[in-house]
Amino acid sequence: MRFHRSSGILLHITSLPSRFGVGDFGPGAVEFVNFLERAGQHLWQVLPLGPPALGNSPYSCYSAFAGNPALISPEQLAADGWVTGDEVQPPDEGDSSTSLVNYETVAAQKVKLLESAYSQSKSDLESDERFDEFCQENAFWLHEFARFEACMRHFDNANWTQWPRGLVHREQQELAKIDDELADQIRFSKFSQFIFDQQWRRIKGYANDRGIRIFGDMPIFVAHESADVWVNQSLFELDDSGQPAVVAGVPPDYFSKTGQRWGNPLYRWKVSEATGHAWWTQRFRFELRQFDLLRVDHFRGFESYWEIPADAETAVAGKWRKGPMEAPFKAAEAELGELPIIAEDLGAITDKVHQLRDSLGFPAMRVLQFGFETKDDVFHRPGHYPEHSVAYTGTHDNDTLMGWYSKRLEDQPDNHLLDEYITGTTDIHLQLIKLVFDSASDLAIVPMQDVLGLGSEARMNIPGEADGNWAWRIESADLKDDLAMYLATITKESNRCEVACCN
């Protein structure tokens, strides 16, 4: 699929300004959409919205379908009448819109507030048509997820292989028993997802009404400690006890000398094929209802994937295995029509991966930071981007643009490949952003950290490091009119402003 020539900003929901310790769907989201509109941007790219498992990574969630309750806005809860204004108070550490996210604190606060909303609304939910409709529309995943989450809290353990044996093997008698014993907790989980859905639809609609499309991100893998693996054990490479036999990752690449051992269980693609890739079609249907266009993370895993022994400490001991190729996408396309998908094709990419991407008609990614290592390697250099691609200054896995530039000056003082593109020593980030905007790529995306010209302290993620990631946030004061005006100007100059955005 081809996309109208346009541009946008990458900023995850958690990074928005908020009085409650983490960005959410409240006033900070509205404020950011207004900034995008002033800046002439037509795309807002976010990271996955699911509930994170270990490490707070949105790329390893305990559901491929559920939303992260931490993103729910307390202010909107009060405005919708689910709680009183007196109940909506910032965390104990006070108003801190500039601090990093403390996930443990904000998660506990949001759950407490949602529990209060639920307890006050139980009787009303019995006759709430909106809640009933939500539960019916999402029946294909919602009850199993709510059951998993209720068990996870009841046993204080997300590792379902350590639950009672009958639940591990999903014996019907044990499942029915849990449904009875934990009925209220299960209904609470459904209620939380209902609120999440209401608030997300509201902010997405607000953006769409202003000509801004939401650009989502779908991880190829899910966490082992997830409802998806527990419910669909036959679809994953597990041993008799339910533990992963092999796990996902990537070999040494741009980001890590020892590769990345992600730890997610791998798929049994033959089993998926026997079902017509039904689970994947459900995923694509759900994601494309949640977002206007979708980046599929680690696309190369569909051509071949890196299989790591579960007991290996790093990814070095892995080996390549053949993937399902275009089959999951073709199965989804047969039911859903043309898929508005972008392929994340970074890393160890082969001609076969390029061929698979092209056969499906998905645009590729180009990243400026990868384009100036050697003179002859122009693949990621902006002047060489093809139209059918998405151009980035960097992604959530890269250092910030100015962090990268500063380290480059220190580590490669004799590398002058950037000299012809940069004038002087000020506003380096703005000059490099304009390079990406001026490229031939249909879409141009810039992380908010790069728009602000921030250094490595604002980095979102360091691949291969489990702690200290996903916590960076902006302030309301960062959304300045002069910055919006500059973006609007270069957007017009690069012919990225006259687009048909939303249906």
What's the CATH architecture for 6-493?
A: Alpha-Beta Barrel (3.20)
Alpha helices in 261-307 (DSSP H): 269-274, 278-290
Domain extent listing, the chain = 6-493
Is pTM beyond 0.85 here?
yes
Catalytic residue among 24, 149, 225, 297: 297
Calpha distance 355→358 (Å, rounded): 5
Q: Across the beta sheet with 341-343, what order do the strands follow? A: 341-343, 293-296, 213-218, 43-45, 6-10, 443-447, 389-392, 364-367
Contact 423, 476 (CB under 8 A): no
Contact 43, 215 (CB under 8 A): yes
Structure confidence at residue 126 (pLDDT): 84
Regions in the chain scoring below 70 on pLDDT: 91-98, 254-255, 498-503
Q: Is 177 exposed, middle or buried (CB count within 10 Å of its CB: 0-12, 13-18, 19+)?
A: middle
Structure confidence at residue 89 (pLDDT): 81
Calpha distance 369→156 (Å, rounded): 43
Structure confidence at residue 503 (pLDDT): 40
Structure confidence at residue 43 (pLDDT): 98
Contact 272, 279 (CB under 8 A): yes
What is the residue-wise DSSP string for 418-438?
TGGG--SSSSHHHHHHHHHHH
Active site residue 311: no
Calpha distance 75→26 (Å, rounded): 6
Q: Across the beta sheet with 319-322, what order do the strands follow? A: 260-265, 246-250, 304-309, 319-322
Three-state DSSP class for 381? coil
Calpha distance 233→276 (Å, rounded): 17
DSSP 320: E
Three-state DSSP class for 124? helix
Active site residue 397: yes
Catalytic residue among 24, 225, 397, 442: 397
Q: Which helix (H) or strand (E) holds 357?
A: helix 351-360
Structure confidence at residue 12 (pLDDT): 98
Catalytic residue among 217, 228, 287, 344: 344
- 142: alpha, beta or left, given left = phi > 0 and alpha = psi -120 to 50? alpha
pLDDT in tens, 255-313: 678 888 989 999 999 999 999 999 999 999 999 999 999 999 999 999 999 999 999 99
Within 8 A by CB and 6+ apart from 337, the residues are none
Calpha distance 424→170 (Å, rounded): 65
pLDDT in tens, 325-365: 999 999 999 999 999 999 999 987 999 999 999 999 999 99
Calpha distance 179→298 (Å, rounded): 36
Active site residue 87: no
